[in-house]
Copies of this chain bind each other. A is one copy, B any other.
Amino acid sequence: MHSSLPSNLPRSQDGFHWTPQEGLQPGLPSLGVITPETEIKQARQTHDVIVVGAGYAGLSAARNAAKSGLSVLLLEARDRIGGRTWSSNIEGYPYELGGTWIHWGQPHTFREIYHYGMKPDLEVSQDHSRGVNRFDLITPDGTKSMSHKEEDALLESAVRKFIDVDGVLAREVMPFPHTPNANPDIAKYDKLSMADRIDQIKDDLTPSELAALEGFVLLCSGGKANNTGFYDIVRWWALGFYSYQGILDTCVTYKLRGGQSSFARRFFEEAKATGNLSYAFRSPISRINSRDNGVQVIAANGKQFTASRLICTIPLNVLGTIQFDPPLAPAKQQAISIGQINQCSKVHAEVRNPELRSWSGIAPSNKLVYAFGDGTTPRGNTHIVAFGADVNPLHPEEDVAVTKQSFTDLVPMDIQRVVFHNWSKDPYAQGAWCMFEPGVGTTYLDALRARHGNVLFANSDWATGWRGFIDGAIEEGSRAAVMAQEELGTAKPVSHRL
């Protein structure tokens, strides 16, 4: 254990940590690391359900299936739960390496927050009560500073112009955000990229609106202007109660005091407490065979497991690395070969600048396009969270000097610690939260959701509601568990149109 990483927690191989004293070190301590890594009851025997992947989709599926009395084997490639959402506690402070913010308007998530009694754990990222209390719009022409009220007005104006293709702020385009393709004309809007849409409205935007909009939309997408589907930005808008404030509230405001891994852990512990859960971490798989009487999965180390059903929660961008027999349907294969476009780089800095607690910035031409004060560490330092996008990719571990420069190009700061997980280079993620290029959301959603024999697919990447969010993962895991329960006889059918 490094001196700069004081923690009683076991350490994941995932993530990176840099301090001036220690330099760059791989691995981070986390509540999400499971020890011992394997606990398989009734070895060699078949299970009712194998769940592949222990992110929120897999955890929800495994927990619900185990609670209904099914025997479950959970296989996870990593040494930890949480998938693209996990937190590392460093000096008692949680850094969120992936998914972070939740909101009571995310129904699957908030039902779980109630279930686990975690409402008192909610806290607000932003604190505008102290420090510079300022927003900087940073472009090659220089930095324009303004109040957060002005920031909100600027972005609200720009985002409304961007969204308003139907004169009713997308309520016609997407009248039911949890049924995103309900409008039969939706494919028309799904042809547009973010760049196409900006092109349509650019004469209506001030230079500041354009720069702020580019930064904001790149924050949402983690991609590029020309491969980010306009449809997916409309989706966030509709899910965010058709308002800019709603997007802020739902996507970058409320987080968990103990970190996301404290939440994920509850799912795992509840599943374990049923007595019906076996699990093996550090167990990547290579092959899934669907047979008439069940499924067979072959791990990378050659071990084989069988079950009546398999719930595959492997992310879209990773599915292509798994061999399926029989082969997947052509539409699913096409969707997998297209993938999703989010290569966001999320990086945390602990900085000796208490005044930045109330700072935020957008810099569409920088390697980090969006950043803000996200907390105060136990040392009294400010925690800055920052996001880059694929348009100007940052792989923070490749050159820490470049990474630090990407922060200080935003605003001067004295960096004492950098923490991150490179999702692009992670073989089990190959990207961040799901964002589609134009056409994919309307063409391939059903194919991605379709079963393959006795294999069910559950991942936030093809959720119908909060796709790409924690909420979508829980939605999907719950859907798959109900299907397995109904088919294996522990529940009577209740859901006729899932």
Enumerate chain A interface residues (CB-CB to B < 8 A).
Answer: 67-68, 104-111, 114-120, 122, 124, 175-179, 241-243, 245-246, 249, 266, 269-270, 273-274, 464-465, 475, 478-479, 482, 491-492, 494-498
Q: Are B273 and A492 in contact (CB under 8 A)?
A: yes
Residues in B neighbouring A67, C-beta threshold 8 A: 68, 491
Q: Determine if A269 and B111 form an interchain contact, defined as CB atoms under 8 angstroms apart.
A: no
* A119–B464 touching, CB < 8 Å: yes
Given contacts A241-B243, A246-B241, contact A117 B266 (CB under 8 A): no
A104 vs B242: C-alpha distance when bound (angstroms):
13
Which partner residue on chain B sits nearest A479 by CB separation? Answer: B114
Which residues of chain B are near A482, meaning CB under 8 Å?
Answer: 115
Q: Is the CB of A178 within 8 A of B241?
A: no
Complex contact A178–B119 (CB within 8 A): yes
Partner of A177, one of B104, B108, B273: B104
Give 7 pairs: A residue, B residue, CB < 8 Å, sorted on A.
A67-B491, A107-B108, A114-B478, A114-B498, A115-B478, A119-B176, A241-B249
Expressed in whole angstroms, the Cα–Cα distance for A498 and B270 within the complex equals: 16
Residues of B within 8 A of A116 (CB): 494-496
Cβ A179 vs Cβ B120 within 8 A: yes
Min Cβ gap A251→B in Å is: 13
Asked whether, in the complex, the Cβ of B105 is within 8 Å of the Cβ of A104, the reply is yes
Q: Which residue of B lies closest to A274 (CB)?
A: B492
What chain B residues lie within 8 Å of A465 (beta carbons)?
Answer: 104, 114
Are the CB atoms of B497 and A118 closer together than 8 Å? yes
CA distance A344 to B237 in the complex (A): 35
Q: Are B178 and A104 in contact (CB under 8 A)?
A: yes
Taking the closest CB of chain B, its distance from the CB of A130, in whole angstroms, is 16
Taking CB as reference atom, which chain B residue is nearest A124? B175
Q: Cα distance A415–B114 when bound, in Å? A: 45
Contact of A119 with B249 in the complex, beta carbons under 8 Å:
no
Residue pair A114, B492 in contact (C-beta under 8 Å): no
CB-contact partner of A110 in B107, B266, B274, under 8 A: B107
Q: How many Å from the CB of A333 to the closest CB on chain B?
A: 27
Complex Cα–Cα for A107 and B465 (A)? 13
Question: Shortest beta-carbon distance, A348 to chain B, in Å?
Answer: 24
Interface pair B117/A107, CB less than 8 Å apart = no
**Cβ–Cβ contact A242 & B245, under 8 A:** yes
Q: A116 to B176: give the CA distance in the assembly, Å.
A: 17
Report the bound CA distance from A116 to B241 in whole Å. Answer: 23
Bound-state Cα–Cα, A482 to B111, Å: 13
Residue of B nearest to A495 (CB): B117
Interchain CB contact under 8 A, A104 and B107: yes
- Which residues of the other chain, B, contact A478 by a CB distance below 8 angstroms? 111, 114-115
CB distance from A454 to the nearest CB of B (A): 21
Which 9 residue pairs across A and B have the least CB separation, nearest first? Answer: A273-B492, A117-B497, A107-B110, A117-B495, A105-B105, A107-B107, A111-B111, A117-B498, A270-B494
Question: How far apart sit A67 and B110, CA to CA, in the bound complex (Å)?
Answer: 21
Set B111, B178, B243: member contacting A107, Cβ < 8 A: B111
Chain B nearest CB: distance from A355 CB in Å? 22
When distances are taken between beta carbons in the complex, the residues of chain B under 8 Å from A106 are 107
Q: How far is the CB of A174 from chain B (nearest CB, A)?
A: 12
Q: Within 8 Å CB of A119, what residues of B?
A: 176, 178-179, 464, 497
Q: In the complex, which residues of chain B have a beta carbon less than 8 angstroms from the beta carbon of A118?
A: 497
A67 to B490, CA, bound (A): 10
- Name which residue of chain B comes closest to A182, CB basis: B120
User: Contacts A107-B111, A249-B241: A122 and B176 contacting too (C-beta < 8 A)?
Assistant: yes
Q: With a CB–CB cut-off of 8 A, which chain B residues contact A241? A: 105, 241, 243, 245-246, 249
